[in-house]
Structure 1
Amino acid sequence: MFKGLGQLGDMAGMMKKAKEMQDQMGQLQEDLASMTVVGESGAGLVKATATAKGELIGLDIDPSIFNGDEKEIVEDLILAAIKEAQQKASEKSASEMGKLTEGLGLPADMKLPF
């Protein structure tokens, strides 16, 4: 029935590969939750730490920037650090997913759900 379909005809092999991918994606999800990235702004005066899943887990602000007259500048620096951390988290997640899909013989740019 599946003659001529090559590997597609091997349903057992496909199921094994799907299970393997599911297991690896579960492990990757756990790994991404423990990987961290740091975004900085103001030459390192504000640092935001996030997991590779994009969850903000830390914010470090140098006390020298606390001046009531510069409230808007401080807010901008905080936002910039958080945005950079989120961008780095997104890039790290995409990089790790690319490694997973490539290891499974899938196209590197294949978008898998997270």
Structure 2
Amino acid sequence: MFEGMNMGDLGKMLEEVQQKAKELEARNESIELTAKSGGGLVKVTANGKGEIIDIDIDDSLLDDKEALQILLISAINDVMKMVEDNKKSAAMSMFAGGLNPFGGGGGSQSR
């Protein structure tokens, strides 16, 4: 797989991948993803790292604990799925951008 590649090239490639990973992590900290449930009665916002950073609950739900729990669980699950999809998409675009250590390298892909 790495035949014909000298260690200097491999080291440079690994440094580039590490740099891109750091950039991706920094980018994920600034991304905000919001999921809504109950027609917007509950909104949960997470950053790209998967940390919940805000929860907004409509006052009308405060007297209905069971409905609040169901809508909160739904919104949290949805926003966590969004976070995972975002991470996968970002990782794929990083490799599509020419840092695929497993070959390919020259061609471009539409995103």
* TM-score by shorter chain over 0.5: yes
TM (norm. structure 2) is: 0.82
- 1:24 corresponds in structure 2 to 20
Matches within 5 A, 1:1-114: 8-67=4-63, 70-103=64-97, 104-106=99-101
Gap regions ≥5 residues in structure 2: 103-111
The residue aligned with 1:111 is none
- Counterpart secondary structure, 1:43: helix
**Aligned length in residues:** 101
Is the 8 Å Cα contact of residues 37 and 75 (structure 2) preserved in structure 1?
Answer: yes
Offset, 1:15: 1.0
Normalised by the size of structure 1, how large is the TM-score? 0.80
Can you list the C-alpha shifts for 1:27-69, whole angstroms capped at 9, x where unaligned? 11111111110111001110000011111000011112222xx
Distance 1:84 1:12 in 2: 44
Alpha-carbon spacing, 1:106–1:43, altered in 2? closer, same or farther (3 Å): farther
Percent of aligned pairs with the same residue?
A: 30
Could you tell me which runs of 5 or more consecutive residues in structure 1 were left unpaired when the two chains were aligned.
Answer: 108-114
Residue pair 2:13, 2:101 contacting (<8 A) in 1 also: no
Q: State the alpha-carbon separation in 1 of the partners of residues 2 and 89 from structure 2.
A: 31
Query: Structure 1 residues 47 and 53, CA, compared in 2 at 3 Å: closer, same or farther?
Result: same
Which whole-Å CA distance do the structure 2 matches of 1:63 and 1:6 have between them? 60
Q: Determine which structure has more spread, i.e. the larger CA radius of gyration.
A: 1
Q: For residues 45 and 98 of structure 1, do their structure 2 counterparts lie closer, same or farther at Cα, with a shift above 3 Å needed? A: same
- Cα distance in 2, alignment partners of residues 28 and 6 from structure 1: 26
Cα-Cα RMSD: 1.8
Separation of aligned partners in 2, 1:41 and 1:6: 49
